[in-house]
Amino acid sequence: MSHLQQSFTVQFVYNVFFTGKLFDSTNPLLADFFTQQASAETRKKLLFVIDSGVVDTHPDLPTSIKTYFAQHADLVDLVPELLIIPGGEVAKNDPDLVEKIVDAVDRNGIDRHSYVAAIGGGSVLDLVGYAAAISHRGIRHIRIPTTVLSQNDSGVGVKNGVNYRSKKNFLGTFVPPVAVFNDNQFLLTLDDRDWRAGISEAIKVALIKDNAFFEWIESHAERLAARDMTAMQYLIHRCAEMHLQHISSGDPFEMGSSRPLDFGHWSAHKLEQLTNFETRHGEAVAIGIALDSLYSQQLGWLTEADTSRILTTLRTLGFTLYQPMLDTDNSAGVLKGLAEFREHLGGQLTIMLLQGIGRGVEVHEIDADHVRQAIATLREQESLNLQPAL
Amino acid sequence: MSHLQQSFTVQFVYNVFFTGKLFDSTNPLLADFFTQQASAETRKKLLFVIDSGVVDTHPDLPTSIKTYFAQHADLVDLVPELLIIPGGEVAKNDPDLVEKIVDAVDRNGIDRHSYVAAIGGGSVLDLVGYAAAISHRGIRHIRIPTTVLSQNDSGVGVKNGVNYRSKKNFLGTFVPPVAVFNDNQFLLTLDDRDWRAGISEAIKVALIKDNAFFEWIESHAERLAARDMTAMQYLIHRCAEMHLQHISSGDPFEMGSSRPLDFGHWSAHKLEQLTNFETRHGEAVAIGIALDSLYSQQLGWLTEADTSRILTTLRTLGFTLYQPMLDTDNSAGVLKGLAEFREHLGGQLTIMLLQGIGRGVEVHEIDADHVRQAIATLREQESLNLQPAL
């Protein structure tokens, strides 16, 4: 009995760019990227997959892309066929969409040194990233996130995935993109729900890691709610930066016991599913943050004043902090999320709670009665909140 | 316009163990492995997926597995359901098999810290490895290769994959296993074709990297053909070692322009497909080695004497070096393999040839007429070879 030991490290490097009007002929960013990536050996191809919702609000986008790459035909061969696919969480339930992208990769001869670029919200990025990751054992993948949520969180990270038999992200891989381009112009056409929803991930990361950032959000909540672009760009940049730091300083592919930067997420995942994804991810996370903040307060870990600051900030931003699916009758449904959360992350149950603003602490047990009590508090507060002032 | 740079490295470590009677109650290897992997935090599960061909020749295997892990129930929870799936290259064409494994992962609550162990030939390992890699973004995967080919080559490496619309390994990922257990007892029940077929990968690696190893194979060809187990174990160990070294010393996930250790493979992949996988991978590689050795000789890079040594060694081992699908009428078919080989690896065409035994050299062009000439030589030699002596 003998053995050979194999050991190696793999380095991953990519940039997250912040820009506006990415496909404007005067914007050199993409052209510069492909210039740096060019190799004398081989021509590279570039296949675009675009969220149909983005094409609806930016009908000139396909033409802009074609014009841009016609100007830069020396750098990369744009595949003339732009693939347009539906977005939103339901898209991740449809295995035909993965197949559609893989077939386009096949049909257009996209090899491992060529590129698939995805333009869209988090769901389209997750779906396209997954299809790229499994084609030819990994085609180079460029992300162009178009929502607040994807620009500050999921789009800049290393995960991709699709749902399987309606289980969220059951299939997926850890594969970093080769570049991320955050274009603020896409934010202008978001509806108010999507503008708002992405902010909850920034609140999440601030609450568990950065008190100063939470104070900044708290003091800019009204401006953010009023769609102030300068405030939003700062929020996205800082949130993306913290997300990247968490990945690179820890266990990027979560092979050990380390956890993603999750707070307020165990109930959020389940709530999305219970509402058939009508409650959007960021909206569910806002409720999850409120729930786990109240839970932290019940443990005596968070002061009533701090809990109130968190809930007030969320409400100022326009979030509704109660959803009928949370109701006592359904609380067993939400509590089921605990088991599924554990199973998806693997290992023992680990839930982030707060021991103060900016100070997340992991626990390994959640008391169902305390959760029900937090739900009851939210229901009561929201019903008062929704009543017209006398 | 600003940017954030993300950069991190990920370390991968795993052992390749050489043993016999892995599931014998007196063999501590697996128990030791799970003892080292144990964590106080959490119970881990272990799901076995087994090649039906292996169960046919080792009918006691399921019972042995159950008995072994009943003795070691403190270390890991064996999933009582052992999944038995068909093997061979055709299995990789069947998307239902991937789904079957993913469903078993779901049904049995296998999380990212639990294990899927595959027992079988290279195809089953590729298929199970792929299903494990995409489930929950990567479940820990143990490989127990049962053929010469998988013990010395594919089973010890970092690739997995399945065929898609009959394109070989079109879907797959680079994800290392957490351990490989090479059990020589499985080799005893291989049919002669499978015993022989795996030897061609060892010849391949010797020809491009290690003259001394080729001389060893040459001088042990008769013993290997006569199924000498001591010789076979040395061959497997040395070949696996060279394969591991190539991975760790280079570009393990082939993200740059580096290539796998391929010689004689461009035509082999196509030949397998043209014969509907009736010609097994190792048999096709033997033909591919013969073809590319003759091609190297035509370039004046390999002496006639050395070419003859290579072909003689292959024939002594029992390989047939001609296949009717190579015929001139079909040579366009095999030559199509060049384009597909380039596309799968990405970048420009890169083919390994020989400038001597133990000295592989990459070229970027292949002359079709030279290939046809090499095919004609093989056809002629084999027809003489097959005629009974007068």
Give the pLDDT score at A42: 76
Tell me the per-residue pLDDT of A190-204, one tens digit each, with 9 for 90 and over.
999 999 999 999 999
Structure tokens, B99: 């789904």
Whether A12 has a pLDDT exceeding 50, the answer reads: yes
Q: Give the gap in angstroms from C-alpha B255 to the nearest C-alpha of chain A.
A: 8
Q: Residues with Cβ < 8 Å from B18, sequence gap 6 or more?
A: A1, A2, A3, B182, B184, B233, B236, B237
Q: What is the CATH number of domain A200-383?
A: 1.20.1090.10
Chain B contact probe: residue of A1, A3, A6 with most B CBs at under 10 A: A6
For chain A, the domains span 15-189, 200-383
**Do A321 and A311 touch, CB atoms closer than 8 A?**
yes
Phi, psi of A175 (to 5 degrees): -145, 115
What does the H/E/C string look like for chain B?
Answer: CEEEEEEEEEEEEEEEEEECCCCCCCCCHHHHHHHHHCCCCCCCEEEEEEEHHHHHHCCCHHHHHHHHHHHCCCCCEECCCCEEECCCHHHHHCHHHHHHHHHHHHHCCCCCCCEEEEEECHHHHHHHHHHHHHECCCCEEEEEECCHHHHHCHHHCCECCEEECCEEEEECCECCCCEEEEECHHHHCCCHHHHHHCHHHHHHHHHHHCHHHHHHHHHCHHHHHCCCHHHHHHHHHHHHHHHHHHHHHCCCCCCCCCCCCCCCHHHHHHHHHHCCCCCCHHHHHHHHHHHHHHHHHHCCCCCHHHHHHHHHHHHHCCCCCCCHHHCHHHHHHHHHHHHHHHHHHCCCCCEEEECCCCCEEEECCCCHHHHHHHHHHHHHHHHHHHCCCC
B259 CB within 8 Å of a chain A CB = no
Residue in B215, B150, B154 with CA at minimum distance from that of residue B184? B150
SS3 content of chain A, % helix, strand, coil (to 5): 50, 15, 30
d(CA B57, CA B112): 32
- Is A250 within 8 Å of chain B by CB? no
Residue of A nearest to B113 (CA): A346
Long-range interactions of B79-84: CB distance < 8 A, separation 24+: B79/B45, B79/B46, B79/B47, B79/B48, B79/B104, B79/B108, B79/B110, B81/B47, B81/B108, B82/B48, B82/B49, B82/B50, B83/B47, B83/B48, B83/B49, B83/B50, B84/B49, B84/B50, B84/B51, B84/B52, B84/B55
C-alpha of B256 from chain center = 22
A344 touches chain B (CB under 8 A): yes
Beta-carbon contacts below 8 Å between A and B:
206
Q: How far apart are CA A30 and CA A181, in angstroms?
A: 9
Asked if B234 has any chain A CB less than 8 Å from its own CB, the reply is no
Please give the Cα distance from A155 to A139 (Å, whole number). 17
Partners of residue A346 in chain B, C-beta under 8 Å: 111-114, 136
Cross-chain Cβ contact B346/A136 below 8 Å: yes
pLDDT tens sequence across A241-259: 999 999 999 889 988 766 6
- Confidence check: pLDDT of A151 > 70: yes
Query: Which residues of chain B neighbour A173 with C-beta distances below 8 Å?
Result: 133-134, 137-138, 173, 175
DSSP single-letter state for residue A178: S
CATH number of B192-384: 3.40.50.410, 3.30.1330.10, 1.20.1090.10, 3.40.50.460? 1.20.1090.10
Question: From CA A202, how far away is CA A237, in angstroms rounded?
Answer: 10
Q: Which of A39-43, A59-63, B15-19, B98-102 has the lowest mean pLDDT?
A: A39-43
- What top-level class would CATH report for the domain B15-188? alpha beta
Question: Tokens 């491992």 — which residue?
Answer: A112
Nearest by CB to residue A10, choosing from B135, B253, B345, is B253
Residue A275 tokens, joined: 């509402």
User: Looking at domain A15-189, does it have CATH number 3.40.50.1970?
Assistant: yes
**In this predicted structure, which of A115-119, A226-230, B210-214, B264-268 has the lowest mean pLDDT?**
B264-268
If chain B, 390 residues long, is cut into consecutive pieces of 10 residues, what is the mean pLDDT of each piece?
91 97 97 90 90 97 98 96 93 95 96 94 97 97 97 95 90 97 98 96 97 98 98 98 93 79 89 88 96 97 97 97 80 78 75 96 92 93 68
How big is chain A by its Cα radius of gyration, in Å?
Answer: 22
pLDDT recorded at residue B117: 98
**CB of A171 closer than 8 Å to CB of A161:** yes
Q: Which residues of A touch B39 (CB under 8 A)?
A: 257, 347
A348 and B42 in contact by Cβ < 8 A?
Answer: yes
Q: How far apart are CA A127 and CA A122, in angstroms?
A: 9
Which residues, 6+ apart, have CB-to-CB distance to B276 below 8 Å?
none
Largest interatomic CA distance in chain B: 82
| Sequential DSSP letters for A86-102 | --SGGGGG-HHHHHHHH
- For residues A132 and A124, give the distance between their C-alpha atoms in angstroms, rounded to a whole number: 12
Residue A389 confidence (pLDDT): 47
**Which residues of chain B lie closer than 8 angstroms to A2, CB-CB?**
17-18, 237
Q: Measuring CA to CA, which residue among B118, B254, B281 is closest to residue B194?
A: B281
Least confident of A58-67, A169-178, A376-385, B42-51: A376-385
Same CATH topology for B15-188 and B192-384: the answer is no
pLDDT score recorded for residue A294: 97
pLDDT of residue B386: 61
Mean per-residue pLDDT, A67-79 = 96
Q: Cβ(B241)–Cβ(A4) under 8 Å? A: yes
Give the closest residue to A101 by CA, choosing from A48, A154, A180: A48
Q: What are the tokens at B21?
A: 């009677």
Say yes or no: B154 contacts chain A, CB-CB below 8 A: no
The average pLDDT across A123-143 equals 97
Question: How many other CB atoms are there within 10 angstroms of residue B203's CB atom?
Answer: 27
Closest CA of chain A from B21, distance in Å: 11
CB burial class (10 A; 0-12, 13-18, 19+) of residue B63? exposed
Backbone angles phi, psi at B377, to 5 degrees: -60, -45
Quick one: which of A48, A45, A104 has its CA closest to A76? A45
Look at residue B389 in the predicted model and tell me its pLDDT. Answer: 47
Closest CA to B263 of B245, B288, B298: B288
Q: Is A4 on the interface with B (CB under 8 A)?
A: yes
- The neighbour count for residue B100, using CB atoms within 10 Å, is 16
Q: Among residues A239, A376, A374, which one has the least CA distance to residue A301?
A: A374
Within 10 angstroms of residue B111's Cβ, the number of other Cβ atoms is 20
Residue A251 CB neighbours (<10 A): 15
What is the model's pLDDT at position A20? 97
CB contact under 8 A, A252 and B347: no
Mean pLDDT of the A167-174 span: 93
- Does residue A196 sit in helix, strand or coil? helix
